Homo-oligomer: A and B are copies of this chain.
């Protein structure tokens, strides 16, 4: 086994999930993530944890949903059990949940209708909440399918993934703490970008009373992705408009050049160059799907290109992302809940050029450079 697979597994178990002896750990292994699943199981045995392994197959999920569609009479949307006993029991009993992505086809579910997906997502809300109450971490094993999605050779993609994952996370956490402090003390964020052939972005949102997460790829930092490397918070009362020039894949459909217009915190108009229908489906999921749940700033400079994977893209240095839908509880005052939705869809904009992020009127980042860095222009 490639030593980097073992290093990845140990980072996941020790740094990210902080697994201890006696923990009940659930691991979901995607179709081609077997090798990392094996390395993680070995590490969990060494730590004295117990392990339950789920098969996270997109083709199995797609088959189940297609079966449900066949059962639904005529054009009806399938109905799903909104309290699936086994899945709820799993996550209520688990201390830690480790999701290892890495399937065989990133568009494996392309022929499932968005109405079916939405019905399923709604029915799974309780399971999702129980899952998010665990110490969960999501990562990915480099597969040929993901290399293809990234437009890269397989070996090249493996290098890319391990460059992004196998980092000095403590050093990055220290760097990110600077931005977290600014956001925690600030009340309002304004983001401005200029584009030649696309709409400019000028969007303002409140962050008063919200707590930014220093997302250093560890549950000890309220951070649940490996790799991570972003600082994010839960904004509200968004106004203005935002353009997202980084392409993405939503529900197996390519979505490009999303433009959102906000009034009183809600999306009141939207457009996309491709995939607009899928975007409309997301925004129509529920009331919370039209409000922002997240503002994030990518700070992982080990990620040097977009690979059409949100796990990596949103962490890339010189990018900012906003997500419609669900807010993370870690950004909210104890006991309060933020924007609620069955969805959470991130959209990314490049801020490396002709852009500014201001907090309470002061420029914090300009053209990708933070104000504490060399090269920042006053």
Stretch of A57-65, A158-166, A300-308, A367-375 with 4 or more beta carbons under 8 angstroms from chain B: A57-65
Asked if residues B67 and A46 are in contact (CB atoms below 8 Å), the reply is: yes
8 A Cβ contacts from A30-88 to B: 31, 34, 37-39, 41-48, 50-57, 59-61, 63-71, 78, 80-81, 84-88
Write the nearest CB–CB distance from A303 to chain B, whole angstroms: 29
By a CB distance below 8 angstroms, the chain B residues around A57 are 29, 34, 37-38, 53
In Å, the complex CA distance between A52 and B24 comes to 18
- The CA of A89 and the CA of B60, in the complex, are separated in Å by 22
A238-264 vs B: 1/0 string, CB under 8 Å?
Answer: 000000000000000000000000000
> Are A45 and B22 interface neighbours, CB within 8 A?
no
Q: Are A47 and B64 in contact (CB under 8 A)?
A: no
Contacts of A70 in B (CB 8 A): 42, 45-46
Q: How close is A1's CB to chain B, nearest CB, in angstroms?
A: 10
A45 to B67, CA, bound (A): 4
Partner of A45, one of B45, B63, B94: B63
The distance in angstroms between the C-alpha atoms of A81 and B90, with both chains bound, is: 17
Residues of B within 8 Å of A22, CB to CB, are 81
Q: Does A282 contact B (CB under 8 A)?
A: no
Number of copies: 2
List B contacts of A68 (CB < 8 A). 45-46, 48
Interface flag for A200 (CB, 8 Å): no
The 0/1 profile, CB within 8 Å of B marked 1, for residues 6-40 of chain A is: 00000000000000001010100101001001110
CB distance from A154 to the nearest CB of B (A): 20
In the complex, are the beta carbons of B42 and A67 less than 8 A apart? Answer: yes
**A93 an interface residue at 8 Å Cβ cutoff?**
yes
Q: Could you tell me if B84 and A64 are in contact, using CB atoms closer than 8 angstroms?
A: no
Residues of A in contact (CB 8 Å), total 50
CB pair B29–A60 under 8 Å, yes or no, is: yes
A92 within 8 A of B: yes
Contacts of A78 in B (CB 8 A): 45
Which of A47, A59, A63, A84 is packed against the most chain B CB atoms within 10 Å?
A63
A86-B24 in contact (CB<8A): yes
Q: Among B52, B53, B71, which residue has its beta carbon within 8 angstroms of that of A46?
A: B71
Q: Are B45 and A65 in contact (CB under 8 A)?
A: yes
Is the beta-carbon distance between B93 and A52 smaller than 8 angstroms?
A: no
Chain B, Cβ-Cβ closest to A30: B55
In the complex, chain B residues whose CB is within 8 Å of the CB of A93? 85-86, 88-89
Task: Give, as a whole number of angstroms, the nearest-CB distance from A108 to chain B.
Answer: 10
> What's the Cα separation between A94 and B326 when bound, in Å?
30
Q: How far is the CA of A93 from the CA of B83 in the complex (A)?
A: 12
Asked if A55 contacts B42 (CB within 8 A), the reply is: no
CA–CA, A50 to B80, complex, Å?
Answer: 8
Query: How far is it, in angstroms, between the C-alpha of A41 and the C-alpha of B46 when the chains are bound?
Result: 34
7 contacts between A and B (CB under 8 A): A41-B60, A42-B63, A43-B67, A45-B63, A45-B67, A52-B86, A86-B90
Point out residues on A near B: beta carbons under 8 Å: 22, 24, 26, 29, 31, 34, 37-39, 41-48, 50-57, 59-61, 63-71, 78, 80-81, 84-90, 92-94
Closest 3 CB pairs of A and B: A45-B67, A55-B55, A89-B89
